[in-house]
Structure 1
């Protein structure tokens, strides 16, 4: 009888575990970058608590031809891999370490993914 009760408890716990939704993973913190607006003025943009393992196009430049963001700074707790093209296409362009990894004005990007 005790074996059957124990088996029922374990089975119930496992079933409950399967029904609990997984928590969404996010790179906690801020990822900042700069870009040129229509007038050629330098502007700052940021992604706050971006989702992990999801390609994110830089909104200010993703739809513009031959325009890139630059000078990224990764103040999230996750590694950021930047790509020169939208859609994280092509090879990984550059990897920024968590908590302060940054690039210069020469590091151009149009999309990023956080690990």
Structure 2
């Protein structure tokens, strides 16, 4: 009787594991940064639950003729690596998960989350 209960519990646990949804491949939380719009007005933008392991060029500053973004804040659960150029090129800097931040001196155009 005890063996039957153990086998039933193991089969039930396996069924639960198989039916659980797979990770969506996203860093959970917000990543914010500051930039200047076309009118020269300071703006703040946010990436909410950004995809992991995928380069994200910040749309407001993707054009090299515009000023880059600055003051990134990583409030996601993943490490954010920011890049000075679009398409995750150029100099890079890593921001720790859950509160990593940098000053306005750090200029960024793209980011990837681990």
**TM-score with structure 1 setting the length:** 0.77
RMSD: 1.9
Q: What residue in structure 1 maps to residue 75 of structure 2?
A: 75
Alignment correspondent of 1:62: 62
The answer on 1:94 being equivalent to 2:93 is yes
- Deviation string 1:61-94 (CA, Å, 9 cap, x unpaired) is 1124252000000000000000000000135x11
Equivalence for 1:34: 34
Gaps of 5+ in 1: 1-12
Query: How far apart in 1 are the matches of 2:68 and 2:42?
Result: 12
Gaps of 5+ in 2: 1-13
In 2, the alpha carbon distance for the partners of 1:44 and 1:107 equals 15
How many residue pairs match? The answer is: 97
CA distance, structure 2, for counterparts of residue 21 and residue 89 of structure 1: 33
TM-score, normalised to structure 2, is 0.77
Distance 1:21 1:37 in 2: 39
